Chain A
Amino acid sequence: MSERIPVLRIGDVLLVSVQFDLEDQTVLNLQEDLAEQIVATSASGVVIDISALEIVDSFVGRMLSTVAAVSRVLDARTVVVGMRPAVAITLVELGLSLGGVSTALDLEKGLAKLGRPVGSAPR
């Protein structure tokens, strides 16, 4: 039995905080849980906090893209927050640019990003 990552609800936003390095099965569980929770709570946004994540592989990188795509289908926006420099460099070197995933430096900025209407990035 592998660990499950809790999906927390704040208002109409779901918060996923990854606190340890991910195994493949955990990643798959998370994808399922998240999709179910979005439907169950009709959330409009998902924040994935990966500030504690130190090691990524291409599987985790693809997971982030997949989760974002799944949420989009369910009409929720995904923001990945708190990516560490080393993780960002690794993903770039792996050739994963996470197209279509919004990112923010920290949780606060991520929530602020979700609070704004779609397509109204500050000009």
Chain B
Amino acid sequence: MVERDDAVDLMGLLSVEGQDLAASWVSEVSGSLKGRIGRAELDRELRELYDALVEALGQGAVDVHAEQMSEVRALLTELSRNRARQGFSPSETAISVFALKRILEPALRDGSAENVRAYLLLGRILDELGLFTIETYTRTRDELITAQAEQLLELSTPVVRLWDGVIAVPLVGTLDSARTQVVMEKLLQALVDTGSEQAIIDITGVPAVDTQVAQHLLKTIVAAKLMGAECTVSGISPQIAQTIVALGIEFDGIVTKASLADALKLALRRSGVDLVAQQGALR
């Protein structure tokens, strides 16, 4: 029952000055956000939150995870998600909660022992709410990053048809296991779909090759060979050639070419196409 009394005190602390507190909360927060959110929007957000908080405290909530707090949690989740999407920093997000503590400080000045106790308890609750905000913020950011990484994965692995029976995968960017897996699957599927017997993996756009990347490439090439296609690796820059030798990577039985043009020439010759320049044509 003691806690219940505290809760009533808390409500007193928050509702003495009523809407004034909410108003000064809004102005405190909008100051810290430097006008990057419309005043009206912020006002609506924070007032809703304030009302929900007062309501929850009125019902005797003393814990963020209490059932009475569900409305507050929902509002906070929405707030932090919006902040994360709009590119605010974690501090700028958390300040929305912590600012309430700061504007309550004046209430301590004439402070009775009861007021102080209520303030400390409210402080604890607000701390928890702040942590909750940060957690939601981080989770949203993580989701964003994951979604973007997936989009990037889809974007960056096109399989192009160069000739009848010759396909190429121009790889751009760093190769990791997840990407190589996608490349491998797409390449092999394209071999089946187009009935191509020649595949060229062009790594002109790959900034660095290490043992792991080489391993991935080897796996892809062996898998293509199992399906009855031949793979050529092209676009090996002088630096990458030196790195490959320095690392002791061996491309056993795999043809490597310096440029995509050379690889295409080889692939065409292997599939029985002869390229003949017209007589008298300028070169």
Contacts and interface: CB of A to CB of B under 8 A. Distances in A.
A104 B225 CA distance: 8
Interface string B208-240: 000000000001001111111100000000000
B223 A122 contact: no
A98 interface: yes
B242 interface: no
Interface string B190-223: 0110011100000000000000000000010011
Nearest to A123: B269
Interface string A82-113: 01110111011100011000111110011000
Interface residues on B, range: 20 to 34
Interface in B167-200: 184-185, 188-189, 191-192, 195-197
B179 to A, nearest CB: 15
A103 B226 contact: yes
The interface centre, meaning the residue of A88, A89, A92, A98 with most chain B CB atoms within 10 A of its CB, is: A88
Contact of A89 (B185, B228, B272): B185
Interface residues of A, number: 23
A81 B188 CA distance: 14
B272 A103 contact: no
Given A106-B195, A109-B228, A122-B272, A85 B188 contact: yes
Contacts of B39: none
B230 to A, nearest CB: 9
Given A103-B225, A105-B197, A85 B270 contact: no
The interface centre, meaning the residue of B197, B228, B269 with most chain A CB atoms within 10 A of its CB, is: B228
Contact of B224 (A81, A88, A102, A110): A88
A28 B219 CA distance: 28
A83 B228 contact: yes
Nearest to B271: A122
Nearest to B194: A105
A122 B273 CA distance: 10
Given A105-B197, A105-B229, A109-B228, A84 B223 contact: no
Contacts of B229: 105
A104 B195 CA distance: 10
Contacts of A84: 192, 227
Contact of B228 (A91, A97, A105): A105
Contacts of B192: 84-85, 105
Nearest to A97: B222
A67 B72 CA distance: 69
Contact of A85 (B197, B223, B269): B223
Contact of B226 (A97, A109, A122, A123): A97
Contacts of B222: 92, 97
A88 B226 contact: yes
B228 A110 contact: yes
Interface of B: 184-185, 188-189, 191-192, 195-197, 219, 222-229, 269-272
Given A88-B223, A92-B222, A105-B196, 6 more contacts: A84-B192, A85-B223, A87-B226, A97-B222, A97-B225, A103-B225
26 contacts: A80-B226, A84-B227, A85-B185, A85-B188, A85-B189, A85-B192, A85-B223, A87-B226, A88-B188, A88-B223, A89-B185, A89-B188, A92-B219, A97-B225, A98-B226, A104-B228, A105-B191, A105-B192, A105-B197, A105-B227, A110-B228, A121-B270, A122-B270, A122-B271, A123-B269, A123-B270
